[in-house]
Amino acid sequence: MRKFWGFYQNESYSVGCNGGTVYVYDKDGTELAKFKDFPYAYRAAFMPGKNTIVVKSTEGILGVYDLDSLSLVKKIVVTRIGAQDEGFCFSPDGKLFYNIEKPIDSTRTQLAVYETKSFTKVDSLFAENTKMVLDYLEFDDETGACYVLGFMRDGEGIFDYGFLAVFNPESRAIQDIHAIDEKKYDHLMWYKRWELSGFTEKALPLDPENYTEKTSLKDAFEDVLRDKR
């Protein structure tokens, strides 16, 4: 099988992302289809419990694929300015898809929320916050809590400090923000980038020996709390 920038599996299918092409395989590794619907498609995520996958292009496009019918069911143009390499994930029940986007300015993030029946955007959060920049988010499977990694800018728009926090979907707020040092922030950012690629060899960080231990944002957040006690 080819080497990919991003590679993902569920019980029925495997999907490989190589930039210009998205490859689909069955569970035995037989190639079923390949799609060339948009460029710079490197990362993706399966919808929980479904044979649906969302592929994210760094150019500013989301592609929703139904793998049972081997078809692109929706193409969402987020922006035409590119530089869309932040994180994304489904809610644990698969009813919502969260995507960190930069639709207007490549230095400002917002959190977009899509319902997954038709993949229509239902909310856009934090677009007016020019100080806070979001990088990655993930839900804890046990508690359903959502943890966020990002950083704050200072008054001159320069990196000030990294942070870990909790996103509350009900209140639509980032809560319990805790500063982390730049070394820890860099480590988590690179690890989450690699993890979102499916831990592929092509996406391996430059110093892989420092990324051998699985790290969730929840664990990192709780480590910060313990250190402060």
DSSP string for 125-180:
ESTT-SSEEEEEEEE-TTT--EEEEEEEE-TTSSEEEEEEEEEETTTTEEEEEEEE
The shares of helix, strand and coil residues in the chain, as percent rounded to the nearest 5, are 15, 45, 45
Lowest mean per-residue pLDDT among 93-97, 155-159, 169-173: 155-159
Instruction: Decide: 62 and 84 in contact? Cβ < 8 Å.
Output: no
The pTM assigned to this predicted structure is: 0.95
**Residue 16 near residue 25, CB atoms below 8 Å:** yes
pLDDT (0 to 100) of residue 106? 86
Average of pLDDT values for 141-162? 94
pLDDT at 1: 63
Nearest-angstrom CA–CA distance, 80 and 83: 9
Cβ distance 136 to 148 under 8 Å? yes
Q: Is 131:142 a contact under the CB 8 Å cutoff?
A: no
The three-state secondary structure class of 209 is helix
% of the chain surpassing 70 pLDDT: 98
- pLDDT of the residue at 114: 98
Give me the pLDDT at residue 84, please: 95
pLDDT tens, position by position, 41-61: 999 999 999 999 999 999 999
- pLDDT one-digit tens code per residue, 193-206: 999 999 999 998 76
pLDDT tops 70 at residue 129: yes
Q: What are the backbone dihedrals phi and psi of residue 226, each rounded to the nearest 5 degrees, phi first?
A: -65, -40
Question: Comparing 155 with 15, which gets the higher pLDDT?
Answer: 15
- Confirm if 148 and 188 have CB atoms less than 8 A apart: no
Output the CA–CA distances (angstroms, integers) from residue 30 to 1, 139, 199, in the order listed. 9, 32, 21
Report which secondary-structure segment, H or E, holds 228: helix 217-228
Whether pLDDT at 210 is above 90:
no
Residue 108 banded pLDDT, cuts 50, 70, 90: very high
Tokens representing 70 are 């081997």
- Mean pLDDT (the chain, rounded): 94
* CA 23/CA 182 separation, integer angstroms: 37
Phi, psi of 14 (to 5 degrees): -125, 145
Q: Is the per-residue pLDDT at 173 higher than 80?
A: yes
pLDDT digits 0-9 by tens, 68-84: 999 999 999 999 999 99
